């Protein structure tokens, strides 16, 4: 019997696998390709909400756990995941500059916001009011994280690439069975796929679709990530990821002309050099009504757990929250109320 079965191999699944691996637990993962959030994500980590100039939820604490977490994976799998890319927030007006300085003066934001304005030196970018720089930002190479971890699991025969079909799933007193696999516990980390999970689909997952367009712009030569009404993230070799939008009605993973037009309109207001579109992707962010993760034990079945609701800042949140889930399961350490799914049980569970 295995210690754990994990369903879903996106960022949430990888984060929990890493907890299990470090603590010497036996496990297998089952995942299909039905959800794409982690595959298409920008992989950016940024502790500041750049619309309002406020610190994101527990960003400092999450950053302290996330960087060592990804560094450990880098060392073990011998891959480079972290690029410390600066984020420049483009100011649209003098008023915005003033709001930035007000924010930068606050003790909790001081370590993260520059006290000087960076003047724009790139002739192909329109930024007459300059930029504020956010510190402690960077990018996780999502492709390498997922493909490197996948290769590691496949080599150890710990990953089955298939759809988890609930008609083959049984919960017994102290264990769960899926086809020929028996495990003491199961952790569901299905992203927006949670909507199809009969045990946890009562949880108020909203789902917010996002699309990115990748461009090649040989003249642009920009090494910083620039945040205006869109993010422009340098990927190397004159390519840039541009996006992402937020769409609540469409829950498919199909890229749309509508989003592409919206993203390129914003890009055209920022840069004025030639570019060609080389890629366009979409995925559904597992967002939650109260913008907090969905973590915890099933209210009736004590060996069923969920790790979800990472919304739009998963790369900072996942390492932090996956550790909390592991501590709940193995050491009975209670979860903070704000992430615990028990906050919805009374209201939502039928």
Ligand X SMILES: Cc1cc2nc3c(=O)[nH]c(=O)nc-3n(C[C@H](O)[C@H](O)[C@H](O)COP(=O)(O)OP(=O)(O)OC[C@H]3O[C@@H](n4cnc5c(N)ncnc54)[C@H](O)[C@@H]3O)c2cc1C
Binding site for ligand X (CB under 6 A): 7-13, 30-35, 37-38, 40-44, 163-164, 189-193, 196, 210-212, 243-244, 283, 285-286, 308, 310-316
Nearer to ligand X, 7 or 20 (CB): 7
Q: How far is CA 252 from CA 99, 124, 165, 245, in A?
A: 37, 35, 20, 14
Nearer to ligand X, 120 or 287 (CB): 287
State the sign of the Cα–Cα–Cα–Cα dihedral 177, 178, 181, 185. negative
Q: Shortest Cβ distance from residue 328 to ligand X (Å)?
A: 18
Q: Shortest Cβ distance from residue 18 to ligand X (Å)?
A: 13
Q: Shortest Cβ distance from residue 24 to ligand X (Å)?
A: 23
Q: How far is CA 12 from CA 16, 84, 85, 133, 255, in A?
A: 6, 22, 23, 29, 23
Nearer to ligand X, 101 or 301 (CB): 301
Nearer to ligand X, 285 or 298 (CB): 285
DSSP-derived 3-state class of residue 139: strand
Q: Shortest Cβ distance from residue 274 to ligand X (Å)?
A: 25
Nearer to ligand X, 165 or 300 (CB): 165
Nearer to ligand X, 148 or 286 (CB): 286
Q: Shortest Cβ distance from residue 116 to ligand X (Å)?
A: 26
Nearer to ligand X, 148 or 283 (CB): 283
Do 28 and 183 touch, CB atoms closer than 8 A?
yes
The DSSP 8-state label assigned to residue 118 in this structure reads: B
Q: Shortest Cβ distance from residue 316 to ligand X (Å)?
A: 6
The values of phi and psi at residue 191, to 5°, are 60, -140
Q: Shortest Cβ distance from residue 105 to ligand X (Å)?
A: 27
The values of phi and psi at residue 131, to 5°, are -135, 155
Nearer to ligand X, 120 or 212 (CB): 212
Q: How far is CA 125 from CA 40, 230, 240, 266, 282, in A?
A: 25, 13, 14, 12, 26
Q: How far is CA 57 from CA 130, 310, 312, 338, in A?
A: 27, 12, 12, 11
End-to-end CA distance of the chain, in Å? 32
> Based on C-alpha coordinates, what's the Rg of the chain?
21
The DSSP 8-state label assigned to residue 93 in this structure reads: S
CA atoms within 13 A on the CB side of 188: 30
Q: Shortest Cβ distance from residue 90 to ligand X (Å)?
A: 17
For residue 75, what are its two tokens? 């060392």
């Amino acid at each position: 019997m295995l210690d754990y079965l994990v369903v879903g191999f996106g960022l949430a699944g990888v984060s929990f696998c890493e907890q299990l691996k470090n603590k010497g637990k036996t496990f297998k993962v089952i995942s299909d390709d039905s959800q794409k959030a982690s595959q298409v994500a920008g992989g950016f980590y940024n502790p500041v909400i750049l619309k309002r100039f406020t610190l994101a939820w527990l960003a400092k604490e999450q950053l302290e756990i996330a960087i060592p977490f990804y560094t450990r994976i880098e060392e073990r799998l011998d891959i480079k995941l972290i690029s410390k890319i600066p984020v420049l927030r483009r100011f649209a007006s003098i008023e915005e500059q003033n709001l930035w300085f007000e924010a930068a003066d606050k003790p909790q934001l001081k370590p993260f916001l520059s006290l000087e304005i960076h003047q724009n030196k790139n002739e192909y970018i329109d930024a007459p009011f300059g930029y504020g720089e956010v510190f402690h930002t960077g990018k996780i190479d999502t492709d390498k994280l997922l493909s490197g971890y996948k290769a590691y699991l496949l080599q150890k025969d710990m990953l089955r690439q298939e759809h988890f079909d609930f008609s083959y799933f049984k919960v017994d007193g102290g264990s769960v069975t899926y086809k020929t696999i028996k495990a003491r516990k199961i952790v569901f980390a299905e992203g927006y796929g949670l909507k199809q999970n009969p045990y946890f689909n009562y949880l108020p997952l909203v789902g917010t679709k996002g699309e990115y367009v990748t461009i090649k712009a040989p003249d642009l030569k920009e090494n910083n990530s620039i945040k205006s009404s869109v993010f422009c993230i340098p990927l190397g070799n004159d390519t840039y990821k541009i996006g992402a939008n937020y769409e609540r009605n469409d829950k498919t993973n199909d890229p749309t002309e509508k989003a592409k037009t919206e993203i390129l309109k914003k890009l055209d207001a920022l840069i004025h050099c030639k570019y060609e579109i080389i890629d366009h992707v979409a995925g559904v962010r597992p967002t939650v009504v109260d913008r907090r993760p969905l973590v915890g034990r099933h209210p009736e079945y004590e060996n069923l757990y969920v790790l979800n609701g990472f919304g739009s800042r998963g790369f900072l949140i996942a390492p932090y929250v996956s550790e909390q889930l592991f501590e709940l399961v193995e050491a009975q350490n209670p979860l903070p109320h704000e992430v615990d799914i028990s906050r919805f049980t009374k209201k939502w569970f039928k």
